[in-house]
Structure 1
Amino acid sequence: MTETANPGGVAADRLRSYVERIERLEEEKSGLTDDIREVYSEAKAAGFDTKVMREVVKLRRMDQSDREEKETVLEVYKQALGMAL
């Protein structure tokens, strides 16, 4: 493929290719976001707390040491505010 450049020195074919790839990925991302939203809706209809589910998903993505550090700091803050059990 021969790349054409405009007077500004931009390789138009390459730029177009990148832009089109990004557009396709954005469409896929939008579809996945809709799918995720649907799963949360199904879970809510089944009686699950979706706010808590989102937090669980977030925690599961974290490295174990980062998760433990977050939980430790949260516990310290709760104790400082008189919220600890």
Structure 2
Amino acid sequence: MAEAGHNSGVAADELKEFARRIVRLEDDKKEAVAEFNEDLKTVRAEAKSRGYDTKILTKAIQLSRLDAEDRTMLDLYCGALNVFD
């Protein structure tokens, strides 16, 4: 590891610029996540206002995303546990 004071001014400036860019991107990400969460909340509220059970809707979406192998295992477990009987 280099000792303090042995970095050229150019390297220090470059490092500071990388740090500024990373901080800016992290801040942008926080804003984007907050906006995404607000949009998701809005859509769920709209579905709920139209009479849909959003908890069940969320589960249905999760199930629709299962790949074939996971779906087969889920069917096997549900059958063994008499989930839908």
TM-score normalised to structure 2 length = 0.70
How many equivalent residue pairs?
A: 75
For the aligned residues, what is the CA RMSD? Answer: 2.1
Q: Give the alignment partner of residue 42 of structure 2, picking from 14, 19, 38.
A: 38
Unaligned stretches of 5+ in structure 1? 6-10
| Aligned with residue 66 of structure 2, among 62, 65, 74 | 62
Q: Work out which of the residue numbers 12, 32, 36 in structure 2 matches 1:4.
A: 12
Deviation per CA, 1:16-56: give whole Å up to 9, x if none.
Answer: 21121121012111101110111111111101110011111
TM-score (ref. length: structure 1):
0.70
Match of 1:23 among 22, 27, 41: 27
% of aligned pairs identical? 23
Q: Of the two, which has the highest radius of gyration?
A: 2
Q: Any gaps of 5 or more consecutive residues in structure 2?
A: 1-9
- Displacement of 1:84 in angstroms is 4.8
Q: Which runs of 4+ in 1 moved over 6 A?
A: none
